[in-house]
Amino acid sequence: MTYVVVEPLDPAQNTKFDHAHKDYFSKQIADFCVDAVQRK
């Protein structure tokens, strides 16, 4: 599994993702992080 550091305040820094799909992956990661936090 690949872990990517995401800068939520500056999505332009999420350069590991394809630019065309950056917003989609950013949202997926955000949803995953929210879900992980809510499980605690």
Q: State the pLDDT at residue 33.
A: 79
CA distances from 6 to 23, 24, 32, 40 (A): 12, 13, 12, 21
pTM of the full predicted structure?
A: 0.34
CA distances from 27 to 6, 23 (A): 11, 6
Q: State the pLDDT at residue 23.
A: 67
Q: State the pLDDT at residue 3.
A: 57
Write out pLDDT tens, residues 1-40.
555 666 566 656 555 555 556 666 677 777 887 888 887 6
